[in-house]
Every structure is written in C-alpha cells, then in structure tokens.
Structure 1
Amino acid sequence: MLNMKKNFNLKAAIKAGTAAGLISGLVKLGWEDVLPPRTPERNATNPPQRLLEQLGMSPSLTHSTYTYSDQEMPWVSFIVHFGFSVSFGIIYEVLVENSQYLKKGYGTIFGLAVWVAFHLGIMPAMGTVPSAKEQPKEEHLSEALGHIAWMWTNDIVGRELYRRLTEAKQEQKA
C-alpha cells in the first residue's frame, strides 16, 4: 500500500510528471530512430494505430499525417505515444515521491516492468502486437532498452523538477 508523505505536493508531482513524460517521450522516439523496434512491414500499422483501429477508429484517421521537412509524420500515433508517456510520467512521479523502493534503479526497473506488462503481456493478449515468442529479438532488445532509457529520463527530469517546484514553494513560505 502506498502511504502518501505528509509534505507530498500532488500538484508539483503532476507538473513534474507531465514535463518528464513529454521529454522522455522525445527520448523514446529518438531511441527508436537509432534501434527501430519493428520492420518497415510491421510498422506500416504501428501499435498505437493498431490499438486505435481495434477500438473502432478508421485506418484513414489512425494513419493521418502532417508533413514536416518533406516527411510524413504520424500525428495520431504521436498523440497516443505522448499520452502514454505523460500518463506514466505522472504515475511514476507520484509513486516515486512516496516510495523508497521505487527509487532503486532510477526508473530502469519500472521501465522494464512497463515493457514486460505491455509489450509481452497486455498488447499481445489484445492482439495489438504478435505474441512475445513471435516478436523478433531485435524488437525485444529495442523495446527493453528503450523503456529503460525512457523511464530513466522520467526519473531524472521528474524528480529534479519536483524538487525545484517544492523548494520554490518552501522558499515562498519563508
């Protein structure tokens, strides 16, 4: 059970988690440019697009893009990507500020747990991605390491912003 600290500032945690989620979402996108998790064939409909289609959204909408620097960018996928990242940034920040246990590993253990839960468990069970055994080893490597980098970034950015926000509040009171 999570026991909220007496001096815990939820508003600061939400702000810090939101900023951390946006920044770590950029880190995860960059990671996937260096170590792409899926083949171009499998990425023709990426997991966020597939999930939205499973929920009844049309492929024409899920594959909508905007053009930047002569490249088609999947804005709908980005909304899902950053929504997920910000949500977990906030969840992690609230939890880590109230749990000594979660501070171990600086987000890396939490990131691996999210990867296992979603990429090896929930999304395969929903049919959004192939089963863990059917996913190539390159996908496992990219996603596992990417989730480590993602949550490590969340930890560093979120905890530092939370510290600064709560220190500023304390200085105002003094």
Structure 2
Amino acid sequence: MPFFKNKDKHSPNIKAAVKAGIVAGVVSGLVKLGWENILPPRTPERDATNPPQKLLQQLGMPESATHATYRYSEHDLPWVSYLVHFGFSTSFAVLYEVLAQYEPKIKAGDGAAFGLAVWAAFHLGMMPAMKTIPDAKDQPAEEHLSEALGHIAWMQTNDLIGDEVYRRLTHGKKE
C-alpha cells in the first residue's frame, strides 16, 4: 500500500519513475558539480577533505581510500567523492520521482521546495549534527548561498529531466 494517495487518478508506473530518477540524478549530479565550479561552497582549506570524504572517514574508511583519485588531463580527480555525490543525487532523484507519482505537491516550484528541504535537512541539520561540516551558524554566508541555490538548480534539473524521461517511457516520444 502506498504511503500517499495518488491524486491524479492514474496508475503510477514505478519502474518508469525509478528509471527516470536514475537518468535525472546523473544529469543533475553533473549540473551540481558545474554549479560548484562557478560558486564554490567551501574554501580550498575546507575542501581539502570535502564532506563526502569526511563522512566516509567518520564511518571508518581510511583517508587513503577516501582521497583516492584518478588522473585526467593532468588533474587528480576524487573518484570516491564522485561516487558519493552521484549516489546521493541519484537516490534523491529516484525518491522525488516516485513520491511525485503519489503526491504531486512534492513538485512545488518545479522541485525548488524539495531541493531547499534537502539542503536544510543535510547542510543545516544532519551533517552539522554529525560534525561532518561546521554548525550552520559557523558556515560562511557564501556556503549557504552556493548550497541553497545549487540545491534548487539540482532539484529543478531532476524535475525537468525526470518528467521528460518518465513521459517518454510511459507515453512515447513527441512526434
């Protein structure tokens, strides 16, 4: 039995919603990475061990593993951080797409409200409580701005891509 009552009187296609969420999560993960290149949320010092790396270390993973990189175009890139980043992005995109099948209000602001809720829950609540990042009052305003706006862009990308992929999976391509 679903947690939410389906308000649209259609039978949701959960398999299509999961597929749409996976595609949207990968694309939106790329958008969020790009966003952080334009408006970096953390200082270089705080990014030396980024939040995904710190969280994994808190869970017992050694620094040698959390800071593992691959080399591309003379850049060392943190593949472990990327796994966490895309895992988080894809998981929340799938959750969003599935929940939206039962409660369309979750899509308020084309995902903006959901994105802000995720930002607040993690960046103002859970991660500070776990000491993965500083308390919200100790984070710079630039971090709050970058993360809040980045989460809006991230979730609106999930909304846009997820809707289109779901539509194509359930109704076919536009002619």
| TM-score above 0.5 | yes
Cα RMSD of the aligned pairs, angstroms, is 1.2
**Alignment partner for residue 49 of structure 2, among 41, 45, 60?**
45
**Alignment partner for residue 113 of structure 2, among 104, 109, 115?**
109
User: What is the Cα deviation at residue 100 of structure 1?
Assistant: 2.4
TM norm structure 1: 0.94
Moved over 3 A (4+): none
Secondary structure in structure 2 of the residue aligned to 1:105: helix
Structure 1 Cα separation of the partners of residues 72 and 111 of structure 2: 33
State yes or no: 1:3 paired with 2:5.
Answer: yes
Pairs within 5 Å for 1:2-151: 2-4=4-6, 6-151=10-155
CA distances 1:129-169 after superposition (whole Å, capped 9, x unpaired): 0000000000000000000000000000001111110113x
User: What is the Cα deviation at residue 101 of structure 1?
Assistant: 1.1
CA distances 1:101-122 after superposition (whole Å, capped 9, x unpaired): 1222000000000000000000
Unaligned runs of 5+ in 1: 169-174
Whether contact under 8 Å (2:20, 2:165) holds in the other structure is: yes
Unaligned runs of 5+ in 2: none
User: What is the Cα deviation at residue 35 of structure 1?
Assistant: 0.2
* Number of aligned residues: 169
TM norm structure 2: 0.94
